[in-house]
Structure 1
Amino acid sequence: MFTASQLYGQKLKPSVSGYTPVNGLKVYYEVYGEGKPVVLLHGAFMTIDMNWGQLIPELAKNRKVIAIELQGHGHTPFSDRKLSYTTLAGDVKGVLDNLKIGKADIVGYSFGGAVAYQFAIQSPERLNKLVIISATYKSTGWIPEVNNIFKSMKPDLFINSPMQAAYEAVAPDKTKWTRFLEQMIGTVGQPFDLGDSNISKISAPVLIIAGDNDGLDKAELAKTYKLLGGDISADLGPMPKSQLAIVPGQGHVSLMMDAVTILNYLNSFLK
């Protein structure tokens, strides 16, 4: 188990970082450590450091960590290319191709979790294990209040936010901030559904981590876990390969900030 004091204040420089050409875009990535590869996919409007900064130093002690910034996020430049989960999951595969990594564990938070689900659907042969943190594969996986926020979101909401500060610290063209917001808001405001049947076909072990009050519809989350082979009586048969963790007293943002809890779940599941 890890404690807060073990994680607090640690920073690590990547062993490799840079851009790789993928699907008409130059995608930014960072590599840390050595060992079995694990890919980190950040949430909407975030950067690698903002989402994963506390976790990377510990994960990199015995894993090769590949952190990717999705289209328009962080170092990866804005593009007029249409945003879709299919395209973004294809970008992730392209980065792995260029780094000559055959299979990897994939960890996605929020928007990155939806991309991770899509990666599992369209590139199952490249996946070892999948970790989904506070994310869903369909719009109805969120409670109605969250979907209403997505539909009414405006760029002004992000003025002087931590997300704007993180973007401006690393973006290659800071003048694209508003266009990036408009593109992302248009994407997250659109209803989507990657398909129950596709989720049920995921053969890799999946760990779902959610806060008890993170905006996800917990009835829908239970259905997702059942599609993945869970929600059984393990006393009457073998334990399912997938797992579900509901973390008490956590919202959408606070869950990801609880690096100690997230890291302990990751290390237990991915070992």
Structure 2
Amino acid sequence: MTSEIQHLGSFDGTSLAIHIEGEGRPVILLHGLFSSATMNWIKWGHGAALAAAGMRAIMPDLRVHGQSAAPHDPAAYPRGVLVRDAAAVADHFGLAPGEYDLVGFSLGARTAIHATAHGILEPRRLAICGMGVAGLDGWQRRADHFKRVIDEFDTIKPGDPAYTARTFLKSQGVDRIAARLLLDAMGDFDLAMLANITMPAAVICGADDHDNGSAPDLAARLPDARYIEVPGNHMNSVTKPEFGKAIVDFLAT
């Protein structure tokens, strides 16, 4: 089993770190907000599970996350910047339409949906994790929550609904200036565009994960999707072996 880290300059030259495990059919995995490839995919063995199943897990740290750059220049955050980063990863590895799979968790799921609905990425199969309808067309409300976490970071105390997010952001060492800029680079999604996502899809979500709205509703709105329930909530479902198994089983077919 191979494991390595590569670095590439994205569409604007911003340095992105890419973690790779295994060999075989490529799978791009996009992590969640204020997380990283290590926290979502590597630490809990999901990348290794894909590798053991004969796939090549390509796991970028999105800009502002993990080992990737976190520029403070507002020009580094045009609308749709993360979709363009994901496309740069696919281009770097020469991945042709239909020859790779795409997985996203939370923010990564939003990014994957935007990319596939607009035809920027064309994976063979799509796994959407930790995402529901409200996380797509109600993104601005969720972004405002995280902006408050950043803006009031030093005054948020235990008992505040924002305290959990503050604690996680602090634990990951996120650059708050860059994170604030990134939040403003994202917009709501037109749910009518879900009709454009015609490849087989799985909506994988924790049984107690309601952070982004209804995952079963999202699956029902996609042309060719199934809903797969795994244990956990939005913070811990990704730590469960059932989460990785659901991804592997879906992509192995």
Partner-residue secondary structure (3-state), 1:224: helix
Alignment partner, residue 247 of structure 2: 266
1:225 maps to amino acid:
A
Alignment partner, residue 193 of structure 2: 198
Contact 1:121 1:202 in 2 (8 A): yes
Partner-residue secondary structure (3-state), 1:128: coil
Structure index of larger Rg? 1
CA offsets 1:166-208 (integer angstroms, 9 cap, x no match): 447xxxxxxxx231233245457xxx33212211121111110
* CA distance in 2: counterparts of 1:144 and 1:193, whole angstroms: 6
Q: CA deviation at 1:213?
A: 2.7
Alignment partner, residue 92 of structure 2: 98
Identity among equivalent positions (%) equals 20
Structure 1's unaligned 5+ residue stretches are 1-11, 169-176, 230-240
Alignment partner, residue 51 of structure 1: 40
| Superposition RMSD in Å | 3.0
Q: For residues 23-34 of structure 1, what are the structure 2 equivalents within 5 Å?
A: 23-24=11-12, 25-34=14-23
Contact 2:105 2:130 in 1 (8 A): yes
* CA distance in 2: counterparts of 1:48 and 1:41, whole angstroms: 7
Q: CA deviation at 1:222?
A: 3.8
The size of the alignment, in residue pairs, is: 233
Alignment partner, residue 172 of structure 1: none
Contact 1:93 1:123 in 2 (8 A): no
Quickly say closer, same or farther: Cα 1:118–1:197, change in 2 above 3 A: same
Q: CA deviation at 1:60?
A: 1.2
Alignment partner, residue 251 of structure 1: 233
Alignment partner, residue 118 of structure 2: 122
CA offsets 1:34-80 (integer angstroms, 9 cap, x no match): 11110111111112111112211111121111001111111111122
Q: CA deviation at 1:119?
A: 1.6
Q: TM-score, normalised by structure 1?
A: 0.74
Contact 1:134 1:252 in 2 (8 A): yes
Q: CA deviation at 1:141?
A: 5.9
CA offsets 1:231-253 (integer angstroms, 9 cap, x no match): xxxxxxxxxx42102335x2111
Alignment partner, residue 216 of structure 1: 212
Quickly say closer, same or farther: Cα 1:143–1:162, change in 2 above 3 A: closer
Alignment partner, residue 63 of structure 1: 55
1:257 maps to amino acid:
T
2:250 maps to amino acid:
F
Question: Quick one: which of 52, 69, 72 aligns to 1:77?
Answer: 69
1:22 maps to amino acid:
S
Alignment partner, residue 228 of structure 1: 222
* CA distance in 2: counterparts of 1:37 and 1:70, whole angstroms: 18
Alignment partner, residue 182 of structure 1: 180
* CA distance in 2: counterparts of 1:140 and 1:105, whole angstroms: 21
1:19 maps to amino acid:
H
Q: TM-score, normalised by structure 2?
A: 0.79
* CA distance in 1: counterparts of 2:88 and 2:65, whole angstroms: 17
Partner-residue secondary structure (3-state), 1:244: strand
1:199 maps to amino acid:
L
CA offsets 1:109-163 (integer angstroms, 9 cap, x no match): 1111100111212336631111111124654666999677346323525899454
Alignment partner, residue 19 of structure 1: 7
Contact 1:85 1:115 in 2 (8 A): no
Question: Quick one: which of 107, 110, 114 aligns to 1:111?
Answer: 107
* CA distance in 2: counterparts of 1:140 and 1:94, whole angstroms: 23
